Structure 1
Amino acid sequence: MPGTDDRQDDDGRGWPPDASTRPPGLLPRLARSLTDALEAETDRWILWLPVFFAGGIALYFALPTEPQARLAVAFVLGALGIFIFVRVSPAGAALGLALMALSMGFGAAKLRTELVRAPVLQAELRHVSVQGYVETFERRSDARDRLTIRVVSIGSLTRAEAPERVRVTISGKDTAVAPGEAVSLRATLNPPPEPVAPGDFDFGRRAWFQQLGGIGYATGRVSHLDGAPEPPLSLRLWAGVDRLRDAVGARIRAALPGEDGAIAVALITGERGGIPKHVTEAMRDAGLAHVLAISGLHMVIMAGSVFWLVRALLAAVPALALRYPIKKWAAATALLAATFYLVLSGAAVPTVRAYLMMSIVMVAILLDRPAITMRNVALAALAILTFSPESMFDPSFQMSFAAVIGLVAAYEALSARERLSTVETSALWRRLRWTAALVMGAGLTTLIAGTAVAPFAVYHFHRMTHFGIAANMIVAPLISLLIMPMALLSLIAMPFGLEAWPLQAMGYGIELMVGTAAWVASWPGAVTVLPDLSGWSLALIALGGLWLCLWRTRLRALGLVIAGLGLALAPPGNRPDVLIERDGKTAAIRGEGGLIFPSATAASYSVEKWLLADGDDTDPKVLPPTTPFRCDPIGCVGKVNGKTVALIRESGAIAEDCRRADIVIAPFKLGKACKAPRVIVDRAALSAQGAHALYIEGLSIRTETVADHRGRRPWSRHARSPATDLRKASER
């Protein structure tokens, strides 16, 4: 009939086929596969709670302005309401819990910020009187010891204006003070330093959470303060711990002087200030820097040795071994030993993480539960982030958890494969397999841990070591079988005055370790200095690694895709064409081979960090004596991308440079005498906005400042002003 279509398909049905009979498209099939894979991993969903909790913390710190407390409360209440509404299905409950964890992380970060709120110096105080209690006394190898002082008074500042604590550098080795002692001194104090470039490491934020409101140096002798009131209870308790640490350190240095003693002190008490710089650099370049920071390796050896020793001694008494749970007794004793080691070592973030992991293992033994699981790692991470959300940005937190997560995931995968193997073998073959597994396991452990921490090492330190496996294969037996067991034995022997001989044996192991580090670090190509890695790139690589490690089915393969995307974003994009230090005295322009500095530029922290962020390992102390800058006693002039940059050092250069230059930089205020340049970065701009980075994009010049990146947060004293916004808008 006209107007009808009586075509038939092959099986006799009408045309077109019914939509319900069509095969699903590619995207629906992928979505269904992903959903099925997620449902198969329901027992692993709980592992993602710390990840979403950390996401909430990251969201809080990413905000350009400080959120009000009611926003955090509203976030938590909203997430709770959504969870109650959607929890009727497993997928809905998982989504609701994820949102709850996100909101709780955001709220924990806000709460922590308010709990530690304390005054911060806003300007330099010169030769001011400081009175307070010594919290920590750090001995350093460069004869510049450091005091952290709980403040009682600073000059004429009121109690509401004075910081909670300050850190003061003291020159010389004749200072004798003890933690908890009331002291008085004169010092020059400054606010905590700002980042040396937009987006760089923010020491001011770290100082805020340490309630450290001033940094400076002593300008007079430290003297005992008579008649001071009794310090707070918390300070008295920690002062007692610090005095114990100092006493242990003194005994170690007496029995083992020199750099070996300094390393022994670091491994036992956590005090690393006495380690010479060349040793630290050799250990770092050999991929052994983790050895000097008390972390999982040290805690496992210490607690594990106590566990093995106590259990062996109890097993030697049949009456006890046959009637009582000696394994649990050994676990309880090892837990007490780990607690003592945590306190003695100063309870740094890596040590706390290692202690939490070790305590969970020992408690699991006491409760007859599996000891090493990914859930234990998740619990440890959640505990640290709950009480110290800011530690998420600490390199030690990131690197230690990255290594542990990678190792536990590998352990789980290998254990599953081992359970699948049911082939019976002879006793000789089993011994050979055990020996091969021991050797290969050491190498595999180093490879996994090194790979896991590599992105974080590049992001924070701009360095990648290439022979860490070789160095760790040599040093790991020394640490496990000689250095740390002798450290434990020296602590046991110390109350009896017998620590000298185990410390001597520990010293031999340390000499071999340092020698190995220096040897490996001297190999050609041992270290590669890499440029800045973007935060988004690191986040994607970390997310890909978590995806790969936390799932167990084929779903984990998508982690490689996510990490690959992060690596694709890793190469640096648009780098600054001009960098200006926060005091205006130093600047750099970009040349074909990297950053170029004016002649006679002094080595400084800013110069060192700029070079490293640019992937340049040039020593700031040996910068090239000649550069494309044209300099005279009153200033320097250079060119970058067709724009003239003038660095004014004396007022005599103002008239000429302001007339000819496109960009003018000065460490003093220029005022109305300089109007012609398109961009003016003088003392007024630097005081208000911090260090500057300029990008020349065709005919325009874009400015980024430290204040732009820090935003209006409690730890940032800079705030963007309308005048600054107007000036930036007028830049052509």
Structure 2
Amino acid sequence: MREPPLVPLGEEVSRPAAAIGVAVQRPWQRGAGLSSIVRRIGDSVEHFLSSSGFDRAPWLAVVFGAGILAWFALNSPWQWAAVIGLSLLIALAGSAVWRGDEERGHIRAATIACGLVFAAGVAIIWLRSELIGAEAIERPVVERVQGYVLDREDQPAQERTRLTLAIRDAEAGVARKIRINVPLEKMEEAQIAGPLLVEGAVIKARVRLMPPASPMLPGSYDFARAAWFKGLAATGSVIGPIEIVEPAPQSSGLPAVQRVLSSHVRERVDGSAGTIAAAFASGDRGAIAEADEEAMRDAGLTHLLSISGLHVSAVIAAAYFLAIKLLALFPPIALRVRLPVIAAGVGALSGVGYTLLTGAEVPTVRSCAAAMLVLIALAMGRDALSLRMVAAAAVFVMLLWPESIVGPSFQMSFSAVVAIVALHSSGAARTFLAPREEPWWRRSGRQITMLFITGMIIEIALMPIVLFHFHRSGVYGAFANVIAIPMVTFISMPLIAFGLFLDLLGLGQPVWWLVQQSLDALLAIAHFTSSRPGAVKLMPQMGYGTIALFVCGALWLALWNGRARLIGFVPATVATAMLVLTPIPDVLIGREGRHVGITVPNQDGGRQLLSLRDSRSSYSRDNLLELASVTGDPVPIAQWSGAQCSTEFCILEIERGGRTWVIMMARNRDLVEERALAAACERSDIVVADRFLPRSCSPRWLKADRGMLERTGGLSLDLTNQKVKSVASVQGQHGWWRGESE
């Protein structure tokens, strides 16, 4: 047998031999290839970070906020601790791996900073939850309490006053904070019997207390979480006379000034316009009629009713420019001091005073902090409108109130500000607004056009957030805001301030008449806009993945520079497609099993909502309608032609996903013979009841009785895909949740 010829060194081997050689050397080659790929990726990232020219500070604020959101998203303490540990390990690894490597300076700095800042975000919200979170009472109770009045909020539109009390829980041996609603007639009785019931008084009353309510349905407002961070252990109402044990000391503080100022403004301006003027002057929104508030919301103007960035900025800007113009009239002052510094001080004092006068709520404090940074920039001769300033204000708020990041107020206000700054700092906007030799009408036209574009950008930026929290959005908000914002900023608010000043001389009546006309015009705009066909867009509950993609895309568009920012359209486009494809729930079951909503087709080709109970509670009805994306009043199931109802149960059949679903719902808590109940359950796919059902009741798919709903909270059912979404699925082991975590 002949031996194969030897291949001289350096000559090319045959293909079979080459294949064998490759197979033998593959592990080493794979390692070398992977290392080369990692090196190239590192080079690309380093080049991108070094050449993009973006500001790092806003991204650190985003990472800090992401850490706070991660704490809310994760379920248990061990997960929170693991994330903190992992973030710190990433920071240490970045420091060790690229130590002394000048070619990886940007990656090293980004890894260390992001790891530390993310861990800090998780830690600070965890710490705040442990420090101020209030354990809720175990069950509803009716008892007589004695408490110290911490806060009073007048709500004449709801014919009540809200009191926040500090009480002593003798059984537990601790102090608790509760909030109770007092009907106006009881407030009048209490005030006739003694001094005004205000902050500092000690009262006794018989009250009905409830644990703060968890969300009624998946996607509903989580009052239990809000109460946890406010330190509220219970909420309820007074059901007996109020006895003033100890009158409040003579009050001359800010709450008293706010009430006097609010009452004074409402006396000068009639009707709903007066309630809005009082809100602008003192932050008192309790007297605004529900119909007007709904019209403002559907017109995209509800942000004008809460004292936040627009109002604080208007006050500070007016004080700044008034101070700098008046000081410029005195040459000895203008030639010896820097006027922007003095004007900034005047503006700061005005902003802080207005913030305190209007109640120093979190949105107002947040706006005041941002305005202070703008004033500092003006005093130093720096660019006042910058994303770095917005990031500093956001970090300030998140350090003091980290829980505010999950609320619509924080998200909407900072989204609007970021959108404005990003738009006006772009090259296209600067070029469009650059000074040039042109007639005044053309210059004004460009400014009006930019105002409209700014309104459109704000509406686009806010729409995902509004839909996520409220499941509805005003379509024509940009058009309404183009008129309403300048009118409030340059007409209504200055007139209110001027009217208050002239009232000191007894000459304010003509000015208050102008205030009346301007705010009546604002309400007319709101009602006209909200009444247009298609003015309100309803959407089902947006998924967390969808809103996360929207936010990531928007932040990328706003915070990067150059062509790289266009990548932000990719997640935004994907999120839009996911939003459009979000299924509308077929069945909605409230947390107690009493309120059930079922969507069915109507004669016009749209949808309507069937409701198990014709509830007088607007809260329950509105939640069902919004999460079902249905307009119009719900139809009671007992009046629906396709339903079979007795005094105990209603049975309804609906077609979904190619099959017929049989739904049986309890109408009351009357006892039913167990054998008959078991037979009815066996013929049903879904059974819903607000009481415990026996084990013998075994439907084919789901038994949502009181026992199950206490563990899961409210439910949203997608019958086509046979999916169940519960409140418990997003609660985890956070202190405010009373059910079982999933």
TM-score by length of 2: 0.85
Instruction: Describe the shift of the 1:207–1:655 C-alpha distance in structure 2 as closer, same or farther (beyond 3 A).
Output: same
Quick check: 1:541–1:566 contact (8 Å CA) kept in 2? yes
The question of 1:462 aligning with 2:477 is answered no
Question: Within 5 A, what are the aligned runs for 1:545-624?
Answer: 545-592=554-601, 594=607, 596-597=609-610, 601-604=614-617, 605-620=619-634
In 2, Cα distance between the equivalents of 1:360 and 1:64? Answer: 36
Q: Report the equivalent of 1:226.
A: 246
Q: Which residue of 2 aligns with 1:15?
A: none
- What do you get for the CA RMSD once the two structures are aligned? 3.3
In the other structure, the counterpart of 1:646 is: 664
Residue 164 (1) aligns with residue 177 (2): yes
Partner of 2:147: 131
> Which runs of 5 or more structure 1 residues have no equivalent in the other structure?
8-18, 231-235, 726-732
Task: State the alpha-carbon separation in 2 of the partners of residues 555 and 674 from structure 1.
Answer: 59
Of 301, 305, 308 in structure 1, the residue corresponding to residue 318 of structure 2 is 305
User: What secondary structure sits across from 2:592 in the alignment?
Assistant: coil
1:653/1:524 Cα in 2 relative to 1: closer, same or farther (>3 Å)?
A: farther
SS in 2 for 1:473: helix
**Structure 1 position 344 matched with structure 2 position 365:** no
1:602-642 Cα offsets, whole Å, 9 max, x none, are 25423321221121122348889425321121111122443
Amino acid at match of 1:523: R
Cα pair 2:75 2:733 within 8 Å, conserved: yes
Q: Classify 1:502/1:613 alpha carbon distance in 2 versus 1 (closer, same or farther; 3 Å).
A: same
Task: Report how far residue 495 of structure 1 moved.
Answer: 5.6
Aligned equivalent of 1:152: 167
Moved more, 185-194 or 357-366: 357-366
Aligned equivalent of 1:12: none
Question: 1:203 and 1:336 mapped to 2: Cα distance?
Answer: 35
SS of corresponding position for 2:152:
strand
Alignment of 1:243-282 (within 5 A): 243-282=256-295
Partner of 1:14: none
- Number of the residue aligned with 1:57: 68
The question of whether the paired residues in 1 share the 8 Å contact of 2:209 and 2:235 is answered with: yes
Q: How many Å separate the matches in 2 of 1:28 and 1:420?
A: 44
Displacement of 1:601 after TM fit? 3.0
Q: Cα deviations across residues 163-200 of structure 1 (Å, max 9, x unaligned)?
A: 32333343536264222322222110100011112353
Match status 1:637 vs 2:646: no
Q: Quote the residue 1:380 is aligned against.
A: 393
Equivalent residues of 2:609, 2:634 under 8 A apart: no
Show the counterpart of 2:25. none
> Structure 1's 226 and 298: CA in aligned 2 closer, same or farther, altered over 3 A?
closer
Structure 1 residue 91: Cα displacement: 1.5
**Offset at residue 360 of structure 1 (A):** 0.5
Aligned mates of 2:352, 2:638 — CA distance in 1 = 52
> Residue deviations 1:357-396, cap 9 Å, x none?
2101111222232222110001011111111111111111
Q: Within 2, Cα distance between the matches of 1:606 and 1:416?
A: 45
Equivalent residues of 1:577, 1:695 under 8 A apart: yes
Identity among equivalent pairs (%): 27
Relative to structure 1, is the Cα distance of residues 417 and 311 closer, same or farther in structure 2, using a 3 angstrom cutoff? Answer: closer
Contact 1:690 1:707 in 2 (8 A): yes
Give the corresponding residue for 2:726: 705
1:667 positional shift: 1.9
> Which residue type is aligned with residue 482 of structure 1?
I
Distance 1:463 1:28, change over 3 A: farther
Cα 1:121–1:595 change in 2 (3 A) is: farther
Whether the 8 Å contact between 1:462 and 1:615 is mirrored in structure 2 is yes
SS at the partner of 2:148?
strand
Could you list the per-position Cα deviations for residues 241-298 of structure 1 after superposition, in whole angstroms to 9, with x for gaps in the alignment? 2222112112112222321111011112222111011111111222211111122221
Tell me if the contact between 1:87 and 1:93 (Cα under 8 Å) persists in the aligned partners: no
- Structure 2 counterpart of 1:168, one-letter code: N
CA distance in 2, matches of 1:496, 1:452: 45
Q: Pick from 664, 687, 709: which aligns with 1:686?
A: 709
CA separation of 1:255/1:548 partners in 2, compared to 1, >3 Å: closer, same or farther?
same
2-structure distance, mates of 1:277, 1:545 = 33
Contact 1:187 1:218 in 2 (8 A): yes
**C-alpha spacing 1:199/1:279, structure 2 compared with 1 (3 Å):** closer
Output the CA distance in 2 between the equivalents of 1:470 and 1:70. 48
The residue correspondences of 1:316-327 to structure 2 (distance < 5 A) are 316-327=329-340
Structure 1 residue 119 and structure 2 residue 128: aligned? no
Rounded Cα–Cα distance in structure 2 between residues aligned with 1:92 and 1:334: 41
Corresponding position of 1:329: 342
Given that 2:638 and 2:650 are in contact with CA atoms closer than 8 Å, whether structure 1 keeps it comes out as: no
Between 387-396 and 350-359, the greater mean CA deviation after superposition: 350-359
**Separation of aligned partners in 2, 1:179 and 1:528:** 42
Are 2:292 and 2:523, in contact at CA under 8 Å, matched by a contact in 1? yes
SS of residue in 1 equivalent to 2:540: coil
Farther-moved stretch of structure 1 (217-226 vs 108-117):
217-226
Structure 1 residue 517 corresponds to structure 2 residue 526: yes
Partner in structure 2 of residue 110 of structure 1:
126
Q: Deviations over 1:131-190 (max 9, x none)?
A: 2224122223121322222x2235x54333x53233334353626422232222211010
- The residue type paired with residue 75 of structure 2 is P
Q: Which segment is superposed worse, 388-397 or 464-473?
A: 464-473
Partner residue of 1:10? none
Q: Which residue of 2 aligns with 1:544?
A: 553
Aligned to 2:116: 100
Return closer, same or farther for 1:473/1:586 CA change in 2, 3 Å cut-off: closer
Instruction: Give CA deviations for 1:586-605 in whole Å, capped at 9, x if unaligned.
Output: 22344346565356532542
Q: Is the alpha carbon distance of 1:218 and 1:705 closer, same or farther for their aligned partners in structure 2, counting shifts above 3 Å? A: same
Worse-matched range after superposition: 114-123 or 484-493 = 484-493
Residue 354 of structure 1 corresponds to which residue in structure 2? 367
Q: Please give the alpha-carbon distance, in whole angstroms, between the structure 2 residues aligned to 1:627 and 1:346.
A: 52
Do the aligned partners of 1:596 and 1:627 also contact (CA within 8 Å) in 2? no
What amino acid sits opposite 2:66 in the alignment? Answer: G
- 1:36 paired to 2:47: yes
1:413 corresponds in structure 2 to: 426
Question: Which stretch has the larger CA shift, 367-376 or 549-558?
Answer: 367-376
Q: Contact conserved, 1:659 with 1:676, CA < 8 A, in 2?
A: no
Bigger mean CA deviation after superposition, 102-111 or 454-463:
454-463
Pairwise CA distance, 1:48: 0.2
* 8 A contact 1:179–1:240 mirrored in 2: no
SS in 2 for 1:483: helix
In the alignment, is the contact (CA less than 8 A) between 1:575 and 1:695 conserved in 2?
yes
8 Å CA contact 1:37, 1:553 repeated in 2: no
Q: How far 1:46 sits from its partner (Å)?
A: 2.2
| Cα distance, 1:212 vs structure 2 | 1.3
Aligned residues: 690
2 CA distance for matches of 1:535 and 1:283? 27
User: Residues 430 and 362 from structure 1, CA distance in 2 versus in 1: closer, same or farther, beyond 3 angstroms?
Assistant: farther
Contact 2:595 2:613 in 1 (8 A): no
Q: Does 1:180 align with 2:193?
A: no
Q: Deviations over 1:10-50 (max 9, x none)?
A: xxxxxxxxx9xx9xx99999986665333223551222001
Give 1:136's aligned amino acid.
R
| Partner residue of 1:401 out of 414, 430, 438 | 414
- Equivalence map 1:652-731=2 (5 Å): 652=672, 654-661=674-681, 662=684, 663-672=686-695, 674-675=697-698, 679-696=702-719, 703-720=724-741
- Alpha-carbon distance between aligned partners in 2 of 1:227 and 1:348, rounded to the nearest angstrom: 26
Could you tell me how far 1:501 is from its partner in structure 2?
A: 4.5
| Residues 593 and 705 in structure 2, CA contact (< 8 A), matched pair in contact too | yes
Amino acid at match of 2:392: L
The Cα of 1:714 is off from its aligned counterpart by 0.6
Superimposed CA distance per residue, residues 184-225 of structure 1 (whole angstroms, 9 cap, x where no aligned partner): 221101000111123533211111001111111110133312
Taking the aligned partners of 2:436 and 2:155, their CA distance within structure 1 comes to: 57
Give yes or no for contact 2:691–2:705 (8 Å, CA) kept in 1: yes
- Kept after mapping to 1: 8 A contact 2:135/2:228: no
